[in-house]
Amino acid sequence: MTSQPFPYLLLPTFWAARNRARRREPGDSARLMLFGSIGLGVGAAIFAAVFWLTWQLDYYEELGDYLLRLGLSWLFLTFLSFLAFSGIVTALSTFFLSEDLRLLVAAPVAPPRLFYSRFARTVGQSSWMVATFLAPVLLAVGLARCAGPLFYATALLALAAFVVIPVALGSVVTLALVNVFPARRARDVLMLMGLLFAVSLVLMLRFLRPERLLNVESLPDLTAFFATLQSPVTPLLPSFWAGETVFAALRGGVDWVHAGALVTTALAFAVMARAAFVRYYFSGWSKAQEARKARFTRMRGLDVLARRLPIRPLGRSLLLKDVKVFLRDTTQWSQLLLLVALVLVYLYNFRVLDLERIPYMGAMVKNVYAFVNLAMAAFVLSAVAVRFVFPAVSAEGPAFWIIRSAPVPMRSFLWSKFWTGLVPILLMAEALTVVSNRFLGADPFLRVLGAVAIFFMSFALVGLATGMGAQHPRFNAENTTQVAGSYGGIAFMVLAVLYILVMIALLAWPSSLYLWHRFRELPVPARSQAWMALCGLAAIALSVGTFWASMQKGIRSLEDMG
């Protein structure tokens, strides 16, 4: 039996990261620059905002202190549920689904050692995002209040203890789930649970209509709003202890009660999780290896429907395969739930938007909003495309040999991916634009323009996503989210946003010129008409060019593969 301490089991992770850093692949430097700049930019923005806010709160003395204390507590509370859920999902992968576990479980490694190494990995993986976000926040608060080194040391300790508690709890929940369901089925259950949780949170927050708090007439609501923050349960949560500990350190003192509660609870939870894992891990692990017969729907209706479509056999085969694989993969289609919720919230926002409150400006503001709406709809479209269309080629995974060794031209293959992505996205984008413009009460001219523009934009953005997905495939990715978050996915989003901005500029200027003349019942001068036509043609050319060039590049890159 190995006598090495548990960090020894983490060495392969570090070595793999080190080797990856040493062996740069083409495009790695550009990727590092891009992600690094985005990360630094976001970090700097968070730091600046929190620094400014803390600086401002300093002017309000006691009220400022109260709000800062409340803010810290709320920040930790927000992360508490996120960490617990993230802990559940990560523990499923690190304790039960990782490929290297077969080697480790078969090796003479004592269960507590295996637990510690995997738990350390779970804590790291599920909390790095929270830590990365909190670092500039706590740094900004500390610098704005000129805090001493004690504050930073306490914040670090509090953060470490704080993340251990929900992750330990999440790991134990996973252990219980895996002992009840097989691990792969448990993953589906968790995905659905998490998404339903996220969807209900988004809907609940939106339907509370927080914009009411911004009205002067609703100041009494503001007081009530803050009163609800102080529920009797709050002081019993680790988030409250962490907030209090950090706040006390900010004022130069040590809150021994809350710091003690935080650290001892973290230790107790870790010990409890260790005991549970030593007792139940092997039975759960063993169950995770069992391949149960999966239940699934045969979707015979889809076969019948596809047979009636006027497409070639090859296109029909690819379409049927793609749709069935998508719908049978819970991790794929369940994300549509989140999408539906976001679309509902989006439309609801337009429903409750009260532009009539702005006297004389109503019509103009509405028309400006019609373009904001178009940009937003196109942005939603890009977000959907990066998640569902961009990974379409990569989704073939290691099974891509089937297509490549078959007499299938890469052109036909990529066009099939394009049409499969375009139809649902076009329908969604059109519905979104038409319904929201109707709720908004935009001018009929703009309603037609919006519908036509989003038609062209759908072609361009879906073409861009399909083509770039073929240029930057990741056939070894574990899931499509990883593909969407890759360098190619980010590059697609950057290009998509640039395209949307140029399109809006090309459409908004001639439209506003036309409406200005129409409201004043003046004829549009010939010179302006020529400019307007030129802008319209440029928008069409840009869309067709983006769509066509991306698809051609994608096809070429698939043909040149290997």
Partner 1 sequence: MILVENLVKKYGAFTAVDGVSLEVASGEIHGFLGPNGAGKTTTIRIIAGLLKPTSGRVLIDGQDLSVSPEAAKASLGFIPDRPFIYEKLTAGEFLRFHGGLYGMDGDGIGHRVAEVLELFELTKWEGELVESFSHGMKQRLVMCAAFLHRPRAVLVDEPMVGLDPRGARLIKQVFRHMSARGVAILMSTHTLEVAHEMCDRISIIQKGRIIARGTVDDLRRLAGSADEQLTPVFLKLTGGAGLQEIDEDL
Binding site for partner 1 (CB under 8 A): 291-294, 296, 298, 313-314, 316-318, 320-321, 324-325, 328-329, 397-399, 401-409, 560-562
Report the alpha-carbon distance of residue 389 to residue 467 in Å, rounded.
10
Residue 442, SS3 per DSSP: coil
Nearest-approach distance from CB 292 to partner 1, in angstroms = 8
Nearest-approach distance from CB 397 to partner 1, in angstroms = 7
Burial tier of 252 (Cβ tally within 10 Å: 0-12, 13-18, 19+): exposed
Residue 485, SS3 per DSSP: coil
Q: What angle separates helix 526-559 from helix 487-519, to the nearest 10 degrees?
A: 160
CB 291 within 8 A of CB 319: no
Which residues are CB-contacts of 11 (< 8 A; sequence separation ≥ 6)?
A: none
Place of tokens 């949170």: 201
- Our CB check for partner 1 shows the closer of 23 and 527 to be 23
- Our CB check for partner 1 shows the closer of 82 and 400 to be 400
- Our CB check for partner 1 shows the closer of 73 and 335 to be 335
Report the alpha-carbon distance of residue 166 to residue 87 in Å, rounded.
7
Residue 6 corresponds to which tokens in the numbers above? 């548990």
Show the DSSP H helices in 290-409 as ranges.
300-308, 313-328, 330-333, 335-352, 362-384, 400-405
Nearest-approach distance from CB 308 to partner 1, in angstroms = 13
- Our CB check for partner 1 shows the closer of 22 and 298 to be 298
- Could you tell me how many helices (H) and strands (E) the chain has, helices first? 21, 0
Report the alpha-carbon distance of residue 449 to residue 503 in Å, rounded.
12
Burial tier of 450 (Cβ tally within 10 Å: 0-12, 13-18, 19+): buried
- Our CB check for partner 1 shows the closer of 408 and 544 to be 408
- Our CB check for partner 1 shows the closer of 108 and 562 to be 562
Torsion of CA 138, 140, 142, 144, to 10 degrees: -150
Rg (CA), the chain: 27
CB 426 within 8 A of CB 378: no
Nearest-approach distance from CB 302 to partner 1, in angstroms = 10
CB 246 within 8 A of CB 72: yes
- Our CB check for partner 1 shows the closer of 314 and 542 to be 314
- Our CB check for partner 1 shows the closer of 328 and 357 to be 328
Nearest-approach distance from CB 469 to partner 1, in angstroms = 18
Report the alpha-carbon distance of residue 401 to residue 405 in Å, rounded.
6
- Our CB check for partner 1 shows the closer of 251 and 404 to be 404
DSSP 422-439: HHHHHHHHHHHHHHHHHH
In the chain, % helix, strand, coil (3-state, to 5) comes to 85, 0, 15
Nearest-approach distance from CB 182 to partner 1, in angstroms = 12
Nearest-approach distance from CB 449 to partner 1, in angstroms = 41
Within 10 angstroms of residue 428's Cβ, the number of other Cβ atoms is 19
Give the sign of the dihedral formed by CA 243, CA 248, CA 252, CA 256.
negative
Half-sphere exposure of 422 (CA within 13 A, CB side): 21
Residue 364, SS3 per DSSP: helix
- Our CB check for partner 1 shows the closer of 523 and 562 to be 562
First to last CA, the chain: 45
- Our CB check for partner 1 shows the closer of 173 and 314 to be 314
- Our CB check for partner 1 shows the closer of 314 and 363 to be 314
- Our CB check for partner 1 shows the closer of 58 and 478 to be 478
Q: How far is CA 423 from CA 17, 327, 331, 430, 435, in A?
A: 41, 16, 21, 11, 18
- Our CB check for partner 1 shows the closer of 521 and 560 to be 560
Report the alpha-carbon distance of residue 84 to residue 167 in Å, rounded.
5
Residue 472 corresponds to which tokens in the numbers above? 């930057």
